[in-house]
């Protein structure tokens, strides 16, 4: 079969784990004999021998700061929407897909999936909450100005454009043949009236073969316990909570520890984290962005993965990867995370933003080697049993095959 994936981002141009998941599923379906093409936004270089045909033709709604946003609102918004639909039309004519699978569409004009529903049998893999969000222009106008000098121009821009944007009709998507990445995601989208309550759940997964030979090292006498955070550096991920907790851990524990922060994101937020760590003399290393192929090796150097997210995570791959690497996980259970991270069974949990609660759980893990080992072993077992990417590919392939066979 020939399937067209629609995604706002696709590696190497990406923001998080679900673009990587899209990439992995596309290649897995190619390996099963399907022909896969991806229509995504501009940016990134593709390998000439890649079995997946990647069309980087879509344009984002908002791309840049206040001035580019103002210019697009004034002159280019409707043209960009038309160009996106025209790109889809051309690729459907060129690739001749049997069906489409829509991934994330945040910051892409909603008329793209609307057009897909008219042209092709179209399925949705709902890995976040983009169907509940307004378009990116409205989101940008509602955000506070990032700099004081932009405050007045943004107020004027918002006063002029926001009422007009809010009054425009929103393309109505059917969301037939949908699947959700977690029960929490399904509950949120069904409560919003986007999908049916009985919409199937297909858990996202990871390639567990990458972690087969990875395991957390033993803690040698007088050597530090190594904590790891892996993910984007943005406030909603709660990395500051880890640093605040480490101040408390140090006050009540003499055992040595150190933290490695893996990832990149907001330069301002990273500066705040670095400043806090330096001011408090915390043993923190900022590893920056780590390429996906070597991430398992980096994770395998640690003993504890800390997952302090404060937003409603649909279902975090970072938790999967930490467990698969043999780390004990301590984290929040916002969104779908609680479907894999169970307190006292596959890890330890704390409330989002609760530095004292995190510190208490970290102390337990640092001083109790048997608890650390038990949680790590069970977490790894669960990931290998239930969250291997083969299960994800099986589910999505079945969704697509069922949809096309019923035509």
Q: Considering only the top CATH level, what class is 208-386?
A: alpha beta
Contact 254, 367 (CB under 8 A): no
CB 177 within 8 A of CB 117: no
Q: Domain locations in the chain?
A: 2-162+171-205+389-405, 208-386
Q: From CA 351, how far away is CA 345, in angstroms rounded?
A: 17
Same fold, 2-162+171-205+389-405 and 208-386: yes
Helix (H) or strand (E) holding 36: strand 35-41
Determine contact, residues 176/122, Cβ cutoff 8 Å: yes
The pLDDT value given to residue 15 = 66
- CA gyration radius, the chain: 22
Whose CA is closest to 337, among 274, 280, 379, 275?
A: 379
Angle separating helix axes 389-405 and 17-31, nearest 10 degrees = 70
- HEC secondary structure over 227-250: EEEECCECHHHCHHHHHHHHHHHH
Task: State how far the Cα of 390 lies from the Cα of 396, in Å rounded to an integer.
Answer: 10
pLDDT of residue 406: 63
- DSSP assignment string, 277-314: HHHTT--EEEEE---GGGHHHHHTT-SEEEE---S--S
Residues of the chain with pLDDT under 70: 15, 406-407
- 201 by Cβ neighbours in 10 Å (0-12 / 13-18 / 19+) ranks as middle
Neighbours of 406 (CB within 10 A): 8
Dihedral angle sign, alpha carbons of residues 333, 337, 338, 340? negative
Classify 14 as helix, strand or coil: coil
Q: Topology of domain 2-162+171-205+389-405, per CATH?
A: Rossmann fold (3.40.50)
Residue in 273, 346, 341 with CA at minimum distance from that of residue 313: 341
Chain position carrying tokens 């893996």: 262
The secondary structure element, H or E, covering residue 2 is strand 2-6
Is the Cβ–Cβ distance between 261 and 308 less than 8 Å? no
Give the pLDDT of residue 92.
97
Determine the Cα–Cα distance for residues 343 and 321; give it in Å rounded to an integer. 18
Closest CA to 307 of 201, 212, 232: 232
Residue carrying the six token digits 């997964």: 205
Query: What 8-state DSSP symbol labels residue 67?
Result: H
**What local confidence, expressed as pLDDT, does residue 64 receive?**
84
Say how many residues make up the chain.
407
């Amino acid at each position: 079969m020939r399937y067209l994936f629609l995604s706002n981002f696709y590696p190497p141009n990406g923001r998080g784990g679900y673009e990587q998941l899209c990439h992995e599923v596309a290649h897995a379906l190619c390996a099963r004999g399907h022909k896969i093409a991806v229509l995504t936004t501009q940016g990134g270089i593709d390998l000439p021998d890649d079995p997946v045909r990647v069309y980087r033709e879509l344009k984002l709604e908002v791309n840049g700061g206040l001035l580019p946003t103002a210019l697009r609102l004034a002159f280019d918004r409707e043209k960009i929407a038309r160009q996106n639909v025209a790109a889809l039309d051309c690729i459907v004519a060129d690739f001749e897909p049997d069906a489409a699978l829509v991934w994330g569409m945040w910051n892409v004009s909603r008329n793209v999936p609307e057009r897909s529903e008219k042209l092709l049998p179209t399925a949705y893999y709902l890995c976040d909450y983009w169907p509940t969000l307004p378009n990116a222009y409205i989101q940008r106008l509602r955000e506070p100005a990032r700099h004081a000098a932009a405050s007045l121009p943004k107020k004027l821009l918002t006063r002029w454009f926001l009422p007009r944007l809010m009054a425009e009709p929103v393309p109505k998507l059917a969301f037939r043949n949908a699947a959700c990445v977690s029960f929490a995601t399904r509950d949120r989208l069904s409560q919003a009236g986007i999908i049916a309550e009985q919409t199937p759940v297909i858990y996202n997964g990871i390639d567990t073969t990458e972690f087969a030979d990875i395991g957390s090292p033993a803690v040698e006498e007088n050597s530090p316990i190594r904590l790891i955070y892996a993910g984007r550096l943005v406030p909603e991920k709660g990395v500051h909570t880890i640093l605040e907790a480490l101040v408390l851990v140090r006050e009540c524990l003499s055992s040595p520890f150190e933290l490695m922060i893996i990832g990149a994101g907001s330069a301002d937020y990273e500066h705040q984290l670095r400043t806090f760590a330096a001011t408090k003399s915390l043993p923190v290393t900022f590893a920056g962005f780590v390429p996906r192929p070597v991430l398992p090796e980096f994770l395998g150097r640690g003993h504890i993965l800390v997952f302090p997210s404060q937003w409603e995570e649909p279902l975090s791959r970072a938790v999967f990867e930490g467990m698969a690497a043999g780390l004990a996980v301590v984290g929040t259970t916002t969104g779908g995370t609680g479907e894999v991270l169970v307190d006292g069974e596959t890890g330890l949990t704390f409330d989002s933003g609760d530095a004292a609660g995190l510190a208490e759980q970290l102390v337990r893990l640092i001083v109790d080697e048997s608890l650390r080992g038990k949680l790590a072993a069970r977490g790894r077992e669960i990931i290998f049993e239930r969250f291997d990417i083969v299960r994800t590919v099986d589910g999505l392939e079945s969704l697509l095959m069922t949809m096309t066979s019923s035509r």
